[in-house]
Structure 1
Amino acid sequence: MTASEQADGQTQRWVLQFCHGYDGPFLDCARQYAVLFKDTPYKVCTVYLTGKPSAEVERGSVSDEVIFLDYSSAQVRALKLGAVRDFRRIAASRDFALCIAHRFKPIYVALLGSNLPVIGVHHAFGDYKRRSRQLFANFFSKRLMLIGVSNAVRDDMRACLPDWPTGRIETLYNRIDIDAVRAEQLPREAAREHLGLPQDAWVVGNVGRLHPDKDQATLIRGFAEALPQLPVSSLLAIMGCGRLESSLKALAMELGVSESVRFLGQIPNGRRYFKAFDVFALTSDHEPFGMVLLEAMAGGVPVVCSDCGGAPEVVGGVGQVFTLGDVQGLASELLRVPTVQASSEAMLVRLQRLFSDQAAAERFRTLLIPSSWA
């Protein structure tokens, strides 16, 4: 570091963002929070607890500085004392105003390794169901604020921490860079060509790991129920891989629809190909938010989802919702899609109003953060 950079580090105020890792959607989560401070007096330093150093991750983090602690998952399962020491060193290296920590382990390390106010962002249900975590959060409540990525996650935390003021457990929705997502999505014909889907088929799309939480079994059953009345040559295309692949293929065969169900496997940067779908269906039974719904909506693709978790908050007013696990209900919604002209303009308006970087920045400024955190 140069002398000028050292001087700048002593006078410049910073925000410290602490992430468990950058796998899957979490690199974009880091981006989402870093851009909150664009055009403000603050610089952002993003720290990854796990994960090898990567130039691509540095670029994707959209931060002024990126640090990789390079711990393995096994190394951070226990007391995490090494991580606490590393964090303490980093926290002392700049004039940090606050820390934004994603998921419980980084929150734990940040609170033990510094005296900074911590905004803890939670991306899943049940993070405070353990009594030990409740006690920990209560002990540090004076300098901890909790954010859920949906009202459903927020309400789960409020139920686990009933003595907390509601204003200290709030919602800040996940979001996307709408223009960037729309720019990288391929046109329908090119997307279908890449995925090997017929140009003249009517395609129900699904994206997610093949896991019980995603409940693709209900998806296949609902599609099979609706298939006789769907447009000719209709297909169900499932993008993703996982331990249920064999059983799901067996289910499709048992229901007599194996020729109409395509398992596409893991597709890198899958959101580029969402315009290949005539409808996007999400049947998850435990979805804290549903980023794929935002990406489908950005492509103007009609969406159908279960009434579970945060998904209904995403599609409210512009998508179709069915009761979790209700095969007949899903079939009915799939049959409605060809007759209901979903408005891509209405989806775009909803994205911009609730799930854009600009909307998040405005919401972030209104959160009830104590004045001492400013």
Structure 2
Amino acid sequence: MKNRIAIYIPSLRGGGAERVMVTLANAFVSSGYYVDLVVGKADGSYIKDVSEEVAIVDLDSRRVTTSLPGLVRYLRRAKPNALLSAMVHANIIAIFANYIARSEIRLVVSEHNTLNSLLKTVSWLRREKWLPFAMRLMYPKTHGIVAVSKGVADELSMITNISREKIDVIYNPVVINYSFPPHTNRITLHPWFGDDQPPVILSAGRLTPQKDFTTLIYAFAKLLTKYQARLVIMGEGEQRNALEQLIQKLNISDKILLPGFVDNPREWMQCSSLFVLSSSWEGFGNVILEAMACGLPIVSTDCPSGPAEILEQGVWGRLVPVGDFAGLAEAMYLTLHEESHPDVVLRASQFSVEKAANKYLTALGMM
């Protein structure tokens, strides 16, 4: 009889952790396991990416905390062999639910971001100072803890007082087997991708303070003083109006595009000349790997944590200090002028779905 694996996340909205969990669910199914993707609310852009062989279990809850009763009922009814959860609030609920259900499953929680940075900058999280205490109390009750980067693991160890050796680091996977669109699709995607157009610099992420697109826009404005280019920032979020006002203030509205959330960002990546990550912090930086899988040269801030691990301290792309718009502009300029670039596809291939899935299956006691 095949083992059943449950994956619990708040929703299927567009975020790095959610995308990773969908990728893992599909990989587990391909490896011969029954997989239930248990979500607080079954909505979001990633629903279409879930394999038909993965069962989506909708707990129909608006908030993570209110999904607790539904998760308890699911554990008692379905009796999966293992449960994997992602992100701090969902992890705590998963631990509570497992305790209340008195289930004998193997429970593994995964952390995808640095909590201290979130607590300092995300307004609604500032009110939740209880989180570190809850993590210290609850995380030791799990069978395994996974962090998506060494930096996240180091911080998690300090917050929970759990030995660093007991926290597994499993880097997020990236899908490599894609097909480039025909060349004629470039102009259809956007006129900026025509042969006679300046190079397009690409960035992506939620329009929030964490991604620090303000610094990127100032850096791009400085770059334009000596080099013609275009900038596309894919994503949606609370800072859209502020960013649009900044772009207008700098008088570069005709050179920057904010297309919102894009269903297939790889189409844009395959047509662009450079990818830039300007974040103040990351848990890992999935989008860097996505861009590298498409062959894009990389410029990134050396933020905690993930980008420096992916780029091996600058071997595979330039790293600049967080918030340094002048340094970011210079790094973009130098990278765009280089005649050759590191083989970033080769580096991206080291973060395969199969490798990550096997490591998670080991943590879940399935291998």
1:192–1:322 CA distance, 2 compared to 1 (3 A): farther
Q: Is the 8 A contact 1:36 1:360 kept in 2?
A: no
Q: What is the match of residue 214 of structure 2?
A: 217
Give the letter aligned to residue 141 of structure 1: P
Corresponding residue SS for 2:192: coil
Q: What is the match of residue 311 of structure 1?
A: 307
Aligned counterpart in structure 1 of residue 353 of structure 2, from 348, 357, 362: 357
Matched, 1:18 2:12: no
Q: What is the match of residue 33 of structure 1?
A: 24
**C-alpha distance in 1, partners of 2:87/2:52?**
19
C-alpha displacement at 1:103, in angstroms?
2.1
Q: What is the match of residue 77 of structure 1?
A: 65
Give the letter aligned to residue 171 of structure 1: V
Q: Is the 8 A contact 1:222 1:331 kept in 2?
A: yes
Q: Is the 8 A contact 1:34 1:63 kept in 2?
A: no
Q: What is the match of residue 104 of structure 2?
A: 115
Q: What is the match of residue 276 of structure 2?
A: 281
Q: Is the 8 A contact 2:174 2:293 kept in 1?
A: no
Corresponding residue SS for 1:157: helix
Taking structure 1 as the reference length, what is the TM-score of the superposition? Answer: 0.81
Q: What is the match of residue 171 of structure 2?
A: 173
**C-alpha distance in 2, partners of 1:260/1:65?**
42
Q: Which moved more, 1:59-68 or 1:306-315?
A: 59-68
**C-alpha distance in 1, partners of 2:263/2:44?**
20
**C-alpha distance in 2, partners of 1:263/1:52?**
24
Q: Is the 8 A contact 1:137 1:144 kept in 2?
A: no
Deviations 1:189-218 (A, max 9, x none): 523431231522111112223222211111
**C-alpha distance in 2, partners of 1:192/1:312?**
34
Matched, 1:246 2:241: yes
Corresponding residue SS for 1:71: coil
Matched, 1:61 2:44: no
What CA RMSD, in Å, does the superposition of the two structures yield over aligned residues? 3.0
Give the letter aligned to residue 198 of structure 2: A
**C-alpha distance in 2, partners of 1:146/1:135?**
15
Taking structure 2 as the reference length, what is the TM-score of the superposition? Answer: 0.82
Which residues in structure 2 correspond to 1:92-111 (within 5 Å)?
92=79, 96-111=80-95
Q: Which moved more, 1:356-365 or 1:164-173?
A: 356-365
Question: What count of residue pairs does the alignment treat as equivalent?
Answer: 346
Corresponding residue SS for 2:224: helix
C-alpha displacement at 1:271, in angstroms?
2.4
**C-alpha distance in 1, partners of 2:175/2:223?**
35
Percent identical residues: 24
Matched, 1:145 2:157: no
Deviations 1:121-143 (A, max 9, x none): 12222189744554455456253
Q: Is the 8 A contact 2:36 2:56 kept in 1?
A: yes
C-alpha displacement at 1:27, in angstroms?
4.9
Give the letter aligned to residue 150 of structure 2: N
Give the letter aligned to residue 272 of structure 1: E
Q: What is the match of residue 328 of structure 2?
A: 330
1:234–1:188 CA distance, 2 compared to 1 (3 A): farther
Give the letter aligned to residue 360 of structure 1: A
1:215–1:134 CA distance, 2 compared to 1 (3 A): same
Corresponding residue SS for 1:118: strand
**C-alpha distance in 2, partners of 1:188/1:124?**
37
Structure possessing the higher radius of gyration over alpha carbons: 1
Corresponding residue SS for 2:254: helix
